[in-house]
Each structure stands twice: as C-alpha cells, then as structure tokens.
Structure 1
C-alpha cells in the first residue's frame, strides 16, 4: 500500500511538472485559419477599440437594415455568434432603443435622413453604433454620422461580403486590410475558403456521407449532425436524415440534442475547473469537507480528485426509478407533484433530496482507487459545486459561461426555452414515463432530479459544442474573453490517472491501440467524451481539431447498432485520413 501511495505521488508530481512545462513552452493558441483567408472588409473607425465584440453578456445587440430579406446573409451569419433581433428601417421599435449595440447594415445610399437622425439620438444616449457598409468605396463616414461611431466597409455587394462583414464584427475573420487590424477571436464559418488549405474536404464529406447513410439505412439512428472544426474554421457542418423514422421532420444543423454524458464535460467539469482555478475548491479536499451530509457517510474522506477520476469506488449506476412507489408519479402536475419528467409524468416534490441523494450517500464503496466509471461521481460534483457557489448549477453556468461565450442553445430543460420541433426526440419510454421523450432528458435519474444533474441532462446544438471545443483548444480563451488559465485546461484534460486513461472529468485517448478509442487514427492528445444517446465531442490539440457527432440512436428504443457499426469512430477516422493525406 505504501509503495502504491509513493507511486501515485510520483505520478502526480510528474503530471504537474509536465503540465507546467507544456504551459511554459506553448503560447496561448490564437485563433487563426491556416492559411490566412482573404477578407476585404476594412475597419475605418473604431476609436474605442470596441471590435471585435467581446463578452456577449455585457451587451445586448440588434440589427437594423433597409431590408431584412436583402441582408439576410449578414443576419444569419451574425446569429451564429450572438442572440439578436433584426428590424427593417420601417419597423424600428422599443427593442432598438433598449439595445446597447446597434449594427446598421446598409449601403451608404440607403441611409435616409430620418435614420441618420435616429442614429445620432441613439449615440447621444450612449448606445454603440456600428455601421457595416456594403459596397463601400469611401474612407469617410456618411454625412450625418458622428465620429464616435464605428465604421466597417466591404467594397462588394455580395452575400459573401455580408458574411465577411458579420464575421469581422464578431472576430470570426481577422481584419487584415487597411490600417486598423483585428485578430480572429471566434469561429470562422465561411467554409468556401478552406478549399485552398490542401485538404480535400469534398472527398472527406463523401466518406462521411457514406457512413451516415449506412447508419440510417441500418437504423442505427434516424438522423444525425456532424461538425468538424480545424484551425478555428468550420470544415463541415451537416445534418442527415430525420428526427424519426416516420420522416416527417428533417434534421437540421441547428437542432438541439440530448447530450447524455457529454454533459459531464460541458457542464459539471468546466464548473469544477472554474471553482478550482478561483480557489473555491481544492482537488485534494474531500466530499466531507464540502458537504455536511457526506460527513456521516462512507464517502466522507473521498477526495474531489478521486471522484473526477472515477476512482472513488462508487457504484456505476443506481436505477432509482425502479424504487418508485404508488403515488410517487402522476399524469398531471399538482401542488404535490411538480417535478416534470415528460409531457405526462410528474414526480412528487422533494424526491431527489429525500430519497435519491441519501441513497447515493449510503451506497457501498467497492475497489476504491480502481477506475470504475460512475454516474454517482458527477451527481456528487454537482452537489459540491452548488454548495460552494450557493447557487444552482444551471443559472451559474448560464451566467458565467454559456451566455458570455455565445452558447445560445445549451442548457437544461430545453422545453422551457425552445419550440418542440427543434428538440430531437429520444426514446419511446414504455416502462417508466410511458411516452415518447422530446425535450425531456432521457436519463431516468436526471429526469427525477428535475432534469438538472451532474452526469446528464444538458441539451445543445452542434454549433454550441464547437464554440466550447474551440475555447478549450485555445486553452481557455474565446471571443477575447479568458475563461480558464492555460494551466487549468492542461491539468484537467491531460492524463491524471495511474489506473486509467482519464483526465479530471474528461475521457481521453486510450493508450492501448487495440481498443482504437476514440478512433483508430486518434492520437495521445485527444480528449472529450461520448454520450449514451449517441453523441460525442472530441478535441485534438495536436491537429487543432474539434469533432462533434450528435444523434438520437436511442429512438425509438435503445439499440447498439451505432456501436456495432462503429459509426462515430469511423467518421472521426475519415477526418484524420483527410488530414494525413496532406502530409
């Protein structure tokens, strides 16, 4: 036992030294598409260095334009970065008056005198005016605008020019023309530029199409979304199939999926990283230190580090729904049953606090120190986070991360925020909730915890995961905002275990090549996670790559065909094959 402890200490010190060396040697990654793309947009005036737009939670934005139809390309592109409304000059309302940043998208000749007058009024009240000029050929502001306004101009009048202007505003493209340069700080979406990289994206897409078609033909899943980001630019973002085998609702790239265990690395783990970095949580402190209820349990002395590594000896899974008694669940909401688990399934209030959490604390510990993947671990991490912050994990994440970075769809209980047809259905649950689940978390335990759990419950679109993945690739920064120090990202995402491939919260590449995990051609830098519903997010620092796969393979009931056909890994390898062909 003493020898094992010494070995563990040596491994821990070695890991810390390697992380420190990596942090010193590697500069913070600056987003840059390679090779640099051509952007004819010029920044002609920005006296306060406002652009590119930074922390999205600090400003409300709105677009005004002569025609929302004519400038739809700009509007759609801007919407990839931040939530905002768009109004034509003919229908300006109170929303514009209340917005902190007004993006004016127009040709110079379209700025009527009454609009110029309104813009001066808005500016006088402290609102930031950004004039995005289409077809500009002058270096001066239009007569009637004031010097404190921001002015961008693109000489073309094409849809591509509109997209470039929008990306320039938000840092999706670097501004390289003219005197005022700006760096790329967010994802670039103009995939037309990547053809010059030497990557055969067309060939790669054909391979992925064939694998996706096979998955749908074999009914491994009725539909899916694949998104590939390399060097800060989107190589592929494509939706396949339908929400169900009835083929009544096509899958789209902005659909929202149940992430299942990908929640572990997009909700609970980043929050624990934040609490560690801000010294609110220590990795070698114990559950008993943070949770009074745990002090009377066999988990009192289990460290946070051990829990994040899944080495606490906790049970992998507890089927709480099997212990429900008559009257615990009813078909309609009431004053006593307010925990909604599906359209017509309501659990009695307080069930999680009174039954589930105490049962987890009382559950046995077996083989502590060995790697046993456990959902109970992340239930516990959520409890620690909420105790330390004195706030629910959901509102905290929305304020600290999702709202600031532009993850517009990410969150728990999406039926409260989005129309049902944007939410991809999962299982037709015939045993527990007895109905098709759409917008309610598939995991039974998470559903019984009011949809908010540390191990599951999060929903998101592929675009949101791409933003999050790129932030981690940048080692903690995105959109000009730093969310983590590089050393924190390196620590949590690198291998931290003597007994497994795991990082802290993150899954990783398996050193045993025979397992081909997460794929045959992946490398030792890769980290991320998979999800039971048929999802995955893998991040590859060596290749500056983010790979996202979202599906509902559990529709209409749980099937292993996605695993048997190795769909996720084969698509990942199709990307690696494309990269390797250039070497």
Structure 2
C-alpha cells in the first residue's frame, strides 16, 4: 500500500505539472465478476479489503499532494457483464450484498476525506427498480443513498453522458436535466452542450430544478477549486516539462510497482532462479508478441538463448515443427503476449495459444510467462506438466523486463494473485522469494536512497568529453548494493556518428584485463596453496635461474615493486629495413602463420617464444621500486599456466568464465561477435597500418594470440560490472562461489608503504597523496578502501566496499589516435566518479541527520 500511495503522489505531481486538478481515479469497484468487460483489470481485485486499502492509499497520495481524487463507479460496477459504454448493465444483487461489498470501499474512503465520486451508468434494481434508469439519473441512489444515507458531502460527478448506458434512453438536454435533478454536481461529457444549457435553464425557470440545488453545487465546485489553489493560479510553463514528468522518483515508483507485482504461481523443483546458465540449454518462444517486444533481448542479457517467435494463428504444421525443435532444450521460456481484458473475446487467446504450453510441456521443461489478464489462465489447456508459471499481468516493457529478472535471479518475486483466476489459481496465490537477488538488478538511484537528479551532471560531463574530442562515445554503469542505478550509453563508435553506442557493444578493456583475468587466476591458485606470495618466481619458472629475474618475489611483481621495466614494444624487433619481416608475417593465414593481427596481417605461430625470451633478457632497474609494468603480468600468465598445467585462457574459462556465462565478454571478440558490435580503437599507422577493429589493441597481447596476462579482453559495461560485484560479494556471484573473501582482501589491500607504492596485488588503489593525480577521485583517495583498474583504451572499473558500489566506464578514447590524452588530462572518468561519491556521501549525511 505504501507503493500505491507513492504512485498517487507521483500522479498528482504529474497532474499539477500539466494543469490538471482532478483525476478520475481510483476505480474502487470490487471486480467480483471475472467476465466483467469494462472494469476487470482496472480494479485492484476481487477482495473488498484489498480494493479499499489500495484505493485509499491512491486517494491519499493524490489529495495530500493537491489533486482531487474521484472514486468510481458508484454504487459499484464490478459485477457487471455489460459495458456501459455500449448499453446499460443491470446489477442483480440483493441490497445486503451490495452494502457489504460494493459500498464498502466508499464508506471507508468517505471517512478519509474523499473529494469526489463518479456515479455509474448501471441499473441497480435493489436500489431503484425503475426500468432503464441508470444510477446516474436516480434520485434514490444519488440524493437519497449517496448524499443522505451515506452523508457524502464531496463533489458528485456523472460518468460520461455520451455513453450508451444513458444516451440510449434519454435525449440530449433531458439527460442533463435528469442528472442534475438526481443530485449530481458536475455533468461530464454531454453530447450537446448548448441544448443541455438551454434545457437546464428552462427547468430552473419552470421550477423542475430548484435553483438552490444549482447554487449548492456551484459552492461545492468553488470549494474544490479553492482546495487545489485555483484562487491564485499562475499560468504554467512548459520549460523542463519532460524532465518533470520523467523524474527519478516517478521512475522509481513505476519500477517498484512492476517489480513487486510479478507473481510466480508455480516453481517445480525450484527451477527459477536459474543459477548456472552454462549447464542448461534454454530457448525462448514468444507467441503473439509485437514487433520490437523486448522480452527476448532481456533474457539474452543473462545467457545465450535461442529465440523463436510464433503467430497466434500458426497452423498445426508450424506448431509441430517448433515443438520438434524445442525438444533439445532443457528449458523453454514460453511467453504469451497481447492478451486482452475482454472475456467475451476469450482474452484474445486463440486455440493455438491455449494449447501450446501443454504441447511443449510434454517434451521439455516449460517456464510459462503470461503477459496479460490473470483471468486468461482459465483459457489455457492443461497446465499440469508446466514446471514454472509466472504472471506478468501486462504486456509492456517493464513487466517483461521484471519477469526476465525473476527468471534469472536479478529480482526476487513478491507478487500475489489479486483474484481467483481459475484453472486452480486462487486469490493470494504466489510464491514469495525472500532471498536476496543473486545477480545485478536493474534499478534506479531512488531505491538506494539517492535520486536520479544527483547523476544528471554525468550527462554534461560526457557531452563535454565528446564535444572536446576526448572520446567518440562511452558506456557508463553504476551499481550500489547490487542494484544497477545508472546504465547509459553515450555517443558513437567513431566520430563519423554512424553507429551509436549500444549496451550490447563490447569495448577493448586493455589493462582492466589484469584484474578480471590474471588477478582472478592468481587469487584462485593462491587460495589453493599453489603459489606463495613471498616466494621467488624462479620457484615456478625454473628457466629464470641465473637471470636478473630470479630473485623477484611474487608479491613484489604483482605490486609493481619488482624493478621490471614498464613495457617492451615487441613488434619493433620484427622490423627489417623499415618493414615488417617477411619471415615472420604473411598477409593472410597460411600454414604456421596463424596468429591474427588484422585482416591482412598474420604472425608466425611460435613468435610468442621470442617475446618470452625478450622479457627474460630485459633490463631491470638497479634498485627495486614502484614502477608500473606490463611485464609482471605477462610473467604472471606464464606462472599460472605452469602451476595449473593449463593454457591461461582455458584455466579462466574452466574456473570462471564458462560458469559466469557472461554474454558480452571475450578474448578475440571476432570469434563471438559481429563487427558492428565491437567498438574500434586506434587507426594504427605504425605496426598494423589499419583501423584496429575487433582485434586487441595492445600489440604484445595481439602477438600472443590475443590473450595476454596484461590485456586482451573485450567487454560491455554490464559483464564487467558482474566481475566487480563478484569481488564485493566476497567471491560469489549468481549463487556460485568462485573465490574466497580472504584472498580478495589480500589482493585488494596495499602491500607496501602507501607513500611509495599505493598498489594492491595487481589491483590499483587510490592515491594517498591528494596533491597528486591518482587513478581515483578525491573522495575515493580520502577513503582509501576502494580498488580497481584503468585501461589504456579508455576503460575503467572500480569497486568501493564501503558503499558496495561498482563503477564501470568504457570508451575508445584512443580512436583514431592513441596519442589522444584528453580523457586522461581532463579527468573525465574520475570527475564522473566524484559525482557518484558526492551522491553517496549526501545519502550518508541524510541518514545521519534523521
């Protein structure tokens, strides 16, 4: 009920922004007829207590915020089987039933100060037996019952007078006179206004209408106008109207209502939430879905789903063909769409839609999602074999998104059926999941105690970055407490503004690879006792004996304290007489020349051995001190391979990536994504002489088959955020434990005197000297609890344990020129990070002051 109050409040704010002073809501009809063609899902349900409480909260939300509420349709339209827009419904209920059910919400709302009531075009013989006389025109119902017996003193408004429930039996003019005589104050939508005015004047003049009743109604109307402040009304401005109507608070309320409504009616074998998506094959079959429906794309956020679509009029041959295809899947998410509220037309459920769930359920496990009226469940044939049934209630963007989140555990189901839906599904049925979500949840700042408005500055920072040429585009994602509160794309892939950045696009994350690849593997073998951080690396790589690397300690190397040089341009040594050596490169894949560098450049397969030799023979600093170095991470990769006995990439997939099943995350992205899904990096005029697009930008990683311990991965913001949340979760994500919290704590803390080395083990840390430019914003520097990494291409991933906050920034700032340092020099990434910390600190201050 708290959410419904908030809904009323937001609707009131919207109304005021648009100059609307009364809202003809709430519908307080108790929908005790499932076949009701006009009320139905407009009601809060079949239970009088639910309808009363939720209507009351809706009313109070509006009236507490300066907008008049109007309860309708008096004395109760919920048991009708005819639509009063087209004819006059007759409610054949005894008076005691009407009093205990239909009138019950009104009695309670009147006690709470309801401003107005709308009278229905329904015939209620128990209250007035006059044939073809709607309640709207009945003095017995309006004057005697509503005003006198129930002592309602607010505005009384007719339902629209052009509806056939009254206009079929009364001509214009006579209809309006009858409405006033019965006790209405406001006449809604007369068919012929001049005729109505003429006949009302005549009725007053002839004494058929007492002028005092007109005066009384006018006073009531003026009182209502005074309530909404019309005595001092100023003209409205449309400036910023879109922002007013689409503010963060309104979005939060909307999402809360949808999220909490999703109802899981059955969950055999606890199939949902699906945790290990890598162990099951999943298909989605939508039936009668509209073009552009987002449900399947939402499902694909979580795993590789084969998507099928079927018409509601599909012939049996087509249905059989689909069923045969679906046999091979472990789960089929079957969703029914565009279901209507019209029971007389079978809720738009065709015989094909009615039978599809039963047919598929005989072949495999079905997760049935019904996006429509809950009464439609009764029209579906034999659901006994269906493992999971989810009621989404409405076929729009948000319930489809929420349902996908429930299936994969980003959202915990809280909904209960508001009606007896038939087919064995009864009022208050629903499986409540009180567990915390296991995956990142799509949300908004308001759910974590902040506001969307606090993040508006990010838009201006990004516009400035794009306008100044710091980057052509970016993805930004912010999560707090496991909830994605900001997820936005900016700009384009390139400055020609052809391909806009989309959430599914993957960026070269460069050195961020260090923490989501090498660090993860190192933490795993550390907690398994396969490495000792204080041992020399020669223990794991005996070939380093009698070299200048043999005394390097693992801890020193991972903290960039080993005295290694920063990097080596390995490709330079492959140049002979100003050109790349023909002995090492070919323009196409050819025999042993199989390491792809670009469309027309392939390196000999064994050249990574030369790279290793060059690292082994590289110079060292005279005295070990902090110096950031890619070489230590390349060496780390080799250690991981040696102690695990597996190729680096295979080890990562076996222990992390396959189980995580992140869809927009990969080494060598050309093998997984189409080119337009990959954001290009540099126009390389030195080495590859082409636009680097779909191949790792870092030359060393490229020459090592696209997989380096220091670079090589591509990701979108969501996939990368899942890793950062895994760290904050103490090594767990989606119900699977990948790492121990202790190993994460060890690797993410500073290893040396922060005055000389701020780093953790592989992870970067805030700069303790706030007079220096560090990798994080000032607030992060002062806290010193956070960790993450940046990438040369313009990537950035950061986690703040204090606030359980994840911040991911992905860009291609090196397009088209790798020498472009504007993103770095203008501190774009950390300026945005400061906006986040400002909001979090403001939240903390607000809580402290309460």
TM-score by length of 1: 0.87
Aligned-partner Cα distance in 2 for 1:69–1:285: 62
Q: SS at the partner of 2:538?
A: helix
Q: Does 1:279 align with 2:529?
A: yes
| Cα contact 1:216–1:241 (8 A) shared by 2 | yes
Q: Does 1:449 align with 2:723?
A: no
After TM superposition, the structure 1 = structure 2 runs for residues 93-242 of structure 1, keeping only pairs within 5 Å, are 95-106=325-336, 109=349, 112=353, 114-122=355-363, 127-135=364-372, 137=374, 143-146=381-384, 149-177=387-415, 178-183=430-435, 184-191=437-444, 194-195=445-446, 197-205=448-456, 207-242=457-492
Q: What stretches of structure 1 move > 6 A for 4+ residues in a row?
A: 138-141
Structure 1 stretch displaced more, 331-340 or 454-463: 331-340
Q: SS at the partner of 1:155?
A: coil
Show CA shifts across 1:237-278 (max 9, x none): 111112122222222222111111111011111111122223
- Structure 1 position 57, deviation (Å): 1.2
Q: Does 1:294 align with 2:525?
A: no
| Cα contact 2:326–2:360 (8 A) shared by 1 | no
Aligned-partner Cα distance in 2 for 1:531–1:312: 21
Aligned-partner Cα distance in 2 for 1:292–1:272: 19
Aligned-partner Cα distance in 1 for 2:709–2:477: 25
TM-score by length of 2: 0.61
Aligned-partner Cα distance in 1 for 2:526–2:449: 41
Aligned-partner Cα distance in 2 for 1:254–1:117: 34
Partner of 1:52: 273
Structure 1 stretch displaced more, 429-438 or 66-75: 66-75
Structure 1 stretch displaced more, 455-464 or 317-326: 317-326
Partner of 1:388: 643
- Structure 1 position 467, deviation (Å): 1.2
Partner of 2:305: 84
Q: Does 1:335 align with 2:588?
A: no
Check 1:203–1:316 CA distance in 2 against 1; reply closer, same or farther (3 A cut).
Answer: same
Question: Unaligned 5+ residue runs, structure 2?
Answer: 1-251, 340-348, 416-429, 846-850
Equivalenced residue count is 543
Show CA shifts across 1:416-437 (max 9, x none): 2211111111111111111111
Partner of 2:765: 508
| Cα contact 2:491–2:501 (8 A) shared by 1 | yes
Q: SS at the partner of 2:742?
A: helix
Q: SS at the partner of 1:508?
A: coil
Partner of 1:8: none
Check 1:571–1:447 CA distance in 2 against 1; reply closer, same or farther (3 A cut).
Answer: same
Check 1:94–1:262 CA distance in 2 against 1; reply closer, same or farther (3 A cut).
Answer: farther
Check 1:148–1:155 CA distance in 2 against 1; reply closer, same or farther (3 A cut).
Answer: closer
Aligned-partner Cα distance in 2 for 1:68–1:281: 54
| Cα contact 1:65–1:87 (8 A) shared by 2 | yes
Q: SS at the partner of 1:463?
A: helix
Q: SS at the partner of 2:727?
A: helix
Which fold has the larger relative contact order, with Cα–Cα distance below 8 Å and residues 6 or more apart in sequence? 1
Partner of 1:18: none
Check 1:198–1:180 CA distance in 2 against 1; reply closer, same or farther (3 A cut).
Answer: closer
Check 1:290–1:93 CA distance in 2 against 1; reply closer, same or farther (3 A cut).
Answer: farther
Check 1:95–1:541 CA distance in 2 against 1; reply closer, same or farther (3 A cut).
Answer: farther
Structure 1 stretch displaced more, 360-369 or 507-516: 360-369
Q: Does 1:362 align with 2:613?
A: no
- Structure 1 position 443, deviation (Å): 1.0
After TM superposition, the structure 1 = structure 2 runs for residues 384-533 of structure 1, keeping only pairs within 5 Å, are 384-498=639-753, 499-515=756-772, 517=774, 518-522=776-780, 523-533=783-793
| Cα contact 1:329–1:346 (8 A) shared by 2 | yes
Aligned-partner Cα distance in 2 for 1:367–1:219: 40
Aligned-partner Cα distance in 1 for 2:620–2:449: 53
Q: SS at the partner of 2:498?
A: coil
- Structure 1 position 147, deviation (Å): 5.3
| Cα contact 2:334–2:367 (8 A) shared by 1 | yes
| Cα contact 1:119–1:145 (8 A) shared by 2 | no
Check 1:113–1:175 CA distance in 2 against 1; reply closer, same or farther (3 A cut).
Answer: closer
| Cα contact 1:223–1:551 (8 A) shared by 2 | yes
- Structure 1 position 398, deviation (Å): 2.6
Partner of 2:166: none
Choose the corresponding residue for 1:574, options 835, 839, 843: 835
Question: Unaligned 5+ residue runs, structure 1?
Answer: 1-32
- Structure 1 position 149, deviation (Å): 1.1
| Cα contact 2:598–2:692 (8 A) shared by 1 | yes
Aligned-partner Cα distance in 2 for 1:429–1:139: 60
Aligned-partner Cα distance in 1 for 2:503–2:750: 32
Aligned-partner Cα distance in 2 for 1:396–1:69: 43
Partner of 2:553: 303
Aligned-partner Cα distance in 1 for 2:391–2:256: 17
Check 1:556–1:226 CA distance in 2 against 1; reply closer, same or farther (3 A cut).
Answer: same
- Structure 1 position 117, deviation (Å): 4.2
| Cα contact 1:473–1:541 (8 A) shared by 2 | yes
Check 1:44–1:422 CA distance in 2 against 1; reply closer, same or farther (3 A cut).
Answer: same
